[in-house]
């Protein structure tokens, strides 16, 4: 049995097309400000991809590229300015920030209704109780990929490996909102392979190359690989050992071309949602 590949590129293209059509139909004016501090090459790639996606969807993009030595005061001042700017509906500060800047303080300074990453404490709390306007882009993208398989989440055993605030925890909440039975695993989990083998839906978000092997996967499971790791030979790989797991799973996302494109598509959707909320 070979798994069906979940094509994140095709699904993200469809989401962006829906966003573009909605903007055109409802004559929505939407603007996204992206702030990048320093010159981290991976961050630069992400920012360029976000700009391209904005162009495609008809969202105005504003880029603020600040030098690495920018002070916290200067960065917070810029966030205040963007909070007050009516043309800016979404604000995204590209992480990671240089070490001398307090990420938590910066995120908390973004107005919750412009926080299109859904990292602000207010938005995180809303996700917890199921009363949210925005979802964090990566978990929301993972849910779209799961839905595309036709596998229903309700009643399924769902295992999330990784408990980060950005992916693992919100991912668990979204699966729970759809009536999945959810287990969150982490470095202190006892007998991790045994827990993973119970999963009908397995989400790997641990940041370790080829961490999930075939003996950890239930035959026919849906496997969503959130990891993106660069190997010593320069190649990208996920947290899942794709070649062997794809022989056993029912559905699997590739890396690259799985979760990555979805994150940006969901960001576009969040920006339009923010614009509609602010217009009211």
Q: Looking at the annotation, which residues are catalytic?
A: 50, 94, 117
Interatomic CA distance for residues 52 and 57, integer angstroms: 9
| 112 Cβ neighbours under 8 A, 6+ residues apart | 120, 122, 123
Closest CA to 225 of 191, 260, 266, 173: 260
Q: 270 with 134: CB under 8 angstroms?
A: yes
Interatomic CA distance for residues 102 and 222, integer angstroms: 37
DSSP 3-state of 208: coil
Taking residue 189's Cβ as centre, other Cβ atoms within 10 Å add up to 16
Interatomic CA distance for residues 211 and 204, integer angstroms: 9
Interatomic CA distance for residues 151 and 153, integer angstroms: 6
Interatomic CA distance for residues 12 and 17, integer angstroms: 9
Token pair 């008809």 in the structure block, residue: 58
């Amino acid at each position: 049995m070979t798994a069906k590949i979940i094509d994140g590129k095709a699904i993200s293209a469809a989401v962006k097309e829906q966003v573009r059509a909605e903007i055109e139909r409802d004559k929505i004016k939407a603007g996204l400000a992206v702030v990048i501090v320093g010159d981290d090459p991976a961050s630069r790639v992400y920012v360029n991809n976000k700009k391209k996606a904005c162009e495609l969807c008809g969202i105005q993009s504003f880029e603020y590229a600040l030098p690495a030595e920018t002070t916290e005061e200067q960065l917070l001042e810029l966030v205040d300015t963007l909070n007050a700017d009516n043309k800016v509906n979404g604000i995204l500060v590209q992480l990671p920030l240089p070490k001398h800047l307090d990420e938590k303080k910066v995120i908390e300074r973004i107005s919750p209704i412009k926080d299109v990453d859904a990292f602000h404490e207010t938005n995180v709390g809303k996700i917890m109780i199921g009363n949210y306007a925005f979802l964090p882009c990566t978990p929301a993208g993972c849910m779209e990929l799961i839905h595309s398989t036709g596998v229903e989440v309700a009643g399924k055993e769902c295992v999330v490996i990784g408990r980060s605030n950005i992916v693992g925890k919100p991912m668990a909440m979204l699966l729970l909102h759809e009536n999945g039975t959810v287990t969150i695993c982490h470095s202190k989990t006892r007998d991790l392979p045994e827990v993973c083998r119970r999963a009908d839906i397995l989400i790997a978000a641990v940041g370790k190359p080829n961490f999930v092997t075939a003996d950890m996967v239930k035959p026919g499971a849906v496997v969503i690989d959130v990891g993106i790791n660069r190997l010593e030979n320069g190649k990208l790989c996920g947290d899942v050992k794709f070649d062997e797991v794809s022989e056993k799973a029912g559905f699997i996302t590739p890396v690259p071309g799985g979760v990555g494109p979805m994150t940006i598509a969901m960001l576009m959707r969040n920006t339009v949602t923010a614009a509609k909320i602010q217009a009211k």
